[in-house]
Amino acid sequence: MGLLFILSYVGIFFQVCFITIALAAGLYYISELVEEYSEKSKKVIKTVTNITIIIYILFIFTESFPYTVIIFGILAQLSHLLILRTFPEVRIFSFEFIAALVLLFVNHYLAYNFFQEYFYTISEILGYFTLCLWLVPFALFVSLSANDQTLPTYQDTTSANSSENDVVTNYFSSKKRKNLLNFFKNAKESVLPMRSKKSF
């Protein structure tokens, strides 16, 4: 019995490691797709947001959710639609983005209180959290890296004073490339360094 107890914890450790690697690989692949197809990604996120709004409206007729949960849920989705107006450029200090973050925390608090008072199965609770609270913010989080792959269309006043007048050259030389895809590339290179080929 003691050995099996130890083996169960060792097995859980390996399962967590495999799940983490699978999630990282999936995020890496999704972030590459978003950077490659930013317009299609915008349409997909917009469609998912509209479906989530419809789900909240259907909750009025099918579930006994309080109106605060439904109203704040719809407000959060509307803030996501406002963020999509400037997609793939997502300004993290804009009013829409900050409102979406605040509403995300408020919706988690309201949902937690509601599911504490009324009994629902774990699959129903996970279904609500996954589709109504996590799906669109997660899609927006992954798509933050698409902003760094768009080319500028105007000359900044700060770069106009510099000796280099080329807009694209200034853009790529002045900005530090910090995005989700580069984060995963650096993590991959630090965990699995590339072997140098021997030249004979």
Give the pLDDT score at 197.
Answer: 56
Residues 28/184, Cβ–Cβ less than 8 Å: yes
pLDDT at 148: 54
d(CA 113, CA 117): 7
Sign of dihedral through CA atoms 136, 147, 39, 94?
Answer: positive
pTM for the structure as a whole = 0.64
pLDDT at 109: 92
| The pLDDT value given to residue 102 | 92
* 3-class DSSP string for 110-135: HHHHHHHHCCCCHHHHHHHHHHHHHH
Between the alpha carbon of residue 52 and those of residues 11, 67, 165, 185, the distances in Å are 37, 16, 46, 32
pLDDT at position 165, please? 52
Residue indicated by tokens 């003691």: 2
Please measure the distance between the N-terminal and C-terminal CA atoms of the chain and give it in whole angstroms: 57
Give residue 50's pLDDT: 92
Residue pair 148/140 in contact by the 8 Å Cβ criterion:
no
∠ CA(151), CA(153), CA(156), 5° rounding?
Answer: 105
Residue 93 in tokens: 């200090």
Per-residue pLDDT of the chain (200 residues; tens, 9 = 90+): 567 778 888 888 989 999 988 888 887 787 777 777 778 888 888 899 999 999 999 988 888 888 898 999 999 999 988 888 877 777 778 888 888 889 999 999 999 999 888 888 888 888 889 888 888 888 888 777 665 555 454 444 454 454 455 555 555 555 444 555 566 666 666 666 665 555 55
